[in-house]
Amino acid sequence: MNLDLDDDQRNLLGAVRTALLAVSPAGSGWAVLRQAGVTATLADGGLVEWCLALEELGASCHDITTVRAAFAFLDAHPGEKLPDVVPSAQPATPTTDRDLLLCAAYGVGLGRECLEVAQDRAADRVITGRRQIEYQGTSHRLAESALDLALARIAVWHAAWYEDRGRPAGHAAPAAAAASVAAALTCAHTLVQAFGAAGTSDPDVVRRYRGAYALTELCGSPRSLWQAAGERWLAAAPAST
Amino acid sequence: MRPELDAAQARLADEVDRVLDAAPPGTDPLALFARLGAERLLAVHYPAAFGGRGLSLAHHVAAAERMGARGLPDVIHIVTVQAVGGALLAFGSAEQQARWLPKIAAGRLFGSLLLSEPGAGSDSAAIRATATPDSGGWRITGVKTWSVSTDRSGIALCSARTRAGRSRYDGISLFLLDLTDPAIQMTPVPRALGDPYFEVTIDGAYVGPDALVGPLHRGWSLLPSTIGFERAGFECLSRATSWMRATETEFHRLPRAARAAAAGDLVRLRAQVAGARALAFHAMHTADVLDVDEVLIAYSKLACARAGQAVARWAGEELAPTPELSAAVDEAPELTISGGPQELQLDLIATDFPIGRAVR
């Protein structure tokens, strides 16, 4: 029982990160990954690999449309091993558990980027003679957010791992999405707070903040996702209990 | 990545079950530890020569988790096998290892930590206890507090100042004390919530030169490894898991409509416990006896403690009280206090660059 990535997964991450370095500020991370041939590798991978890539997209591009581009790519490549178990979802939202998990992975990446930027800002900024990160009001908020994010990533990875092995837990995908969206929102708020008044006008901060809320439009609110997960879990619980 | 026990870990957990199943009902927990020790299951990560099986810490925690799930008191096991035994394994002399580790691994000797002092809280460097040279050995004097399960222990790992030191971290040494020494008195500190702590008064207890564990004057640097496992939060995880089970049992007794309304909360709590478990196992998977990632340990401890507290609080708010759930509510605050308060873990996480490095 561990969270280690295998060599292939680490290589994939390296390729994704290298490719994303070439994305221009207004460019599409997804298009760059396609041009670099990374998406072809992903087409042979499992959901875990897709989630790893989507986290990097979330961390690097801040472009929520890449998630939809990933859905479209997957749909254009039939034969992949990924399940499609929620056909009744609304068209404008993720239509499968697979899609929900990709959104969740993207949200983890977005949250990660928010926290790293917030931490850099707090480490550099001096307030009344002390670095901002030395104030526990800032450092503990960063740490609390980082813990939420770590747990969300684990939920995403575990759900994807079981999906890849054909043993999906019915409630795992919405649960992972709930944890991810909640963590991304928390991290985005932490980012704005770390920047102070500047955070309400800095375009990069505002883009990330709005990106987190765009996740709620794509996946649903954390509360609704937890409830959906709960309903599935309850439906699968033994009748005697 | 693997979200479940591997085959070897699962076999160990099954072995624990078989030993415990074979014991007569009502067997004293200390006797159960001895039964597990006899099968070399109590400290599988110790070398075979010291009563273990020479396996990894990750294997050990799989067995230890099952012991906790079966109701054995984790604190005794964690402090004895990991903290005291781990310190001997890592820093003890060959003679100390040969003398003490087989007894610990056999479940026939238990140990405590005597690190904190009155008024110092979790500041383990704020040490006033002294060890002065005497007849080739040492004479130790001081007061230690917040020690757990000390009444069941035969030995204790104790920190003391052996010189003034060039800094507050210098001049601290670790000693192994025999708790049956009449110069050592322990007084229970009753608590409304949970088992008592013990305050231990050491009044000039004499120890021989063989009681020194690790290098003289440089014991401070050993403490993170000594208490690292404790700080991974396994005792919190065990309680979180057990409280989650009790909570689910009561949840399923709720009327259908109430269950439907609260199902989302239940899944959220289950996910929190599962995530904490993954972090705790990963922390041990990446550790060895001497070396743990302090930041990863901080995530693990915090996640385990918070998971237990979240479960206990939800149960306390939403469910009818039962003896187990009431105990959970009582014990929950301690989870972010003992084994290093949460403020220490939050500081470690926040100042690790880039933030989150340790958990990806």
Top pLDDT among B14 and A28 is at: B14
Contacts of B285 in chain A (CB under 8 A): 1-2, 4
Residues A2, B1: C-beta atoms closer than 8 Å: yes
According to CATH, the superfamily of the domain at B112-219 is Butyryl-CoA Dehydrogenase, subunit A, domain 2 (2.40.110.10)
Nearest to B350 among A139, A161, A241 (CB): A139
Q: How many CB atoms lie within 10 A of CB B196?
A: 15
Indicate the residue of B2, B259, B350 with minimum beta-carbon distance to A142.
B350
Q: Which chain A residue has its CA at the smallest distance from B359's CA?
A: A150
pLDDT tens digit sequence for A166-184? 898 889 999 999 999 999 9
Q: Which residue has the higher pLDDT, B309 or A215?
A: B309
Residue B259 tokens, joined: 């269950």
Query: What is residue A92's predicted lDDT score, i.e. its pLDDT?
Result: 39
User: In the prediction, which pLDDT does A91 show?
Assistant: 36
Closest residue by Cα to residue B269 from B230, B312, B231? B312
- Mean of all residue pLDDT scores within chain B: 91
Within 8 A of B302 by CB-CB distance, chain A residues are 143, 147
Least confident segment among A62-66, A118-122, A147-151, B313-317: A62-66
B148, β-bridge pairs: B197
Q: What percent of chain A has pLDDT over 70?
A: 84
Does the structure show a pLDDT above 70 at A90?
Answer: no
Q: Where are the domains of chain B?
A: 7-110, 112-219, 232-359
b/e per residue A6-17 (b: at least 16 CB within 10 A):
eeebeebbebbe
What letter would DSSP give residue B357?
A: G
Tokens of B92: 């003890």
- Nearest residue to B235 via CA among B149, B348, B323, B119: B149
CATH homologous superfamily, domain B232-359: Butyryl-CoA Dehydrogenase, subunit A, domain 3 (1.20.140.10)
Show which of residues 302-321 on chain B sit within 8 Å of chain A, judged by CB atoms.
302-303, 306
Establish whether the linkage from the previous residue to A94 is cis, with ω within 30° of 0. Answer: no
- Domain A41-236 belongs in CATH node 1.20.140.10: yes
**Does B347 touch chain A if contact means CB atoms closer than 8 Å?**
yes
Predicted local distance difference test score (pLDDT) of residue B136: 95
Write down the pLDDT at residue A84: 33
Non-local (6+) Cβ contacts of A19 within 8 A are: A32, A33, A35, A36, A38
Nearest to A1 among B9, B276, B350 (CB): B9
* Other beta carbons within 10 Å of A238: 6
Question: Interface pTM (ipTM) of the complex?
Answer: 0.91
Query: Does A219 contact chain B (CB < 8 Å)?
Result: no
| CB-count exposure of residue B209 (10 Å: 0-12, 13-18, 19+) | exposed
Minimal CA separation from B304 to chain A, in Å: 11
Q: How far apart are CA A175 and CA B271, in angstroms?
A: 8
| Same fold across B7-110 and B232-359 | no
Q: Write down the pLDDT at residue B259.
A: 96
Asked if A158 reaches chain B (Cβ–Cβ under 8 Å), the answer is yes
What pLDDT is attached to residue B73? Answer: 84
Q: Is the pLDDT of residue A75 over 80?
A: no
Interchain CB contact of A162 with B (< 8 Å) = yes
Cα A18–Cα A19–Cα A25 angle in degrees, nearest 5: 110
Contacts of residues A121-126 at CB distance under 8 Å and 24 or more positions apart, as own/partner, are: A121/A194, A121/A195, A122/A194, A123/B353
Residues from chain B that touch A226, judged by Cβ atoms under 8 A, are 264-265, 267-268
Residue of A nearest to B349 (CA): A143
Interatomic CA distance for residues B135 and B128, integer angstroms: 22
Contact between A202 and B227 (Cβ < 8 Å):
no
Tokens at residue B285, please?
Answer: 């998977």
pLDDT at A157: 97
| Residues of chain A above pLDDT 90, percent | 60
DSSP string of B66-79? HHHHTT--HHHHII
Count of CB contacts below 8 A, A vs B? 154
Residue B100, phi then psi, degrees to nearest 5: -105, -40
Topology of the domain comprising B7-110: Butyryl-Coa Dehydrogenase, subunit A; domain 1 (1.10.540)
- pLDDT score recorded for residue A79: 46
Of B330, B339, B327, B301, the C-alpha closest to B242 is B327
Q: Which residue has the higher pLDDT, B141 or B196?
A: B141
HSE, side-chain direction, 13 A CA sphere, residue B327: 10
Run of H or E including B52 = none
Q: What confidence score (pLDDT) does residue A240 get?
A: 43
| Selected residue of A154, A158, A225, A227 to mutate for chain B interface (largest B Cβ count, 10 A) | A154
Nearest CA in chain B to A227: B264
Question: What mean pLDDT do residues A154-159 have?
Answer: 98
- Say yes or no for a CB contact (<8 Å) between A154 and B350: no
* DSSP characters over B282-343: HHHHT--SS---HHHHHHHHHHHHHHHHHHHHHHHHHS---HHHHHHHHHGGGGGTTTS-HH
pLDDT digits (tens, 9 = 90+) for B78-133: 889 988 998 898 889 999 999 999 999 999 999 999 998 998 766 666 789 999 99
**pLDDT for residue B226:** 66
Residue of A nearest to B58 (CA): A1
- Look at A186-190, B138-142, B147-151, B162-166 and tell me which has the smallest mean pLDDT: B162-166
A5-9, A38-42, B47-51, B215-219: the lowest-pLDDT one? A38-42
Average pLDDT, chain A: 86
Tell me, what's the pLDDT at B224? 67
Residues B234-259 pLDDT 10s: 888 988 999 999 999 999 999 999 99
A116 CA: distance to closest CA in chain B (Å): 6
Q: Whole-angstrom Cα distance, residue A175 to residue B270?
A: 10
pLDDT (tens digit per residue) in A119-132: 999 999 999 999 99
- Among candidate residues A162, A151, A146, the one with its CA nearest the CA of residue A46: A162
Which chain A residues contact residue B355 at CB under 8 A? Answer: 115-116, 119, 142-143, 146
Which among A1, A179, A228 has CB closest to B271? A179
Pairing type for strands B137-148 and B130-134 reads antiparallel
> Across the interface, do A1 and B276 touch by the CB < 8 Å criterion?
no
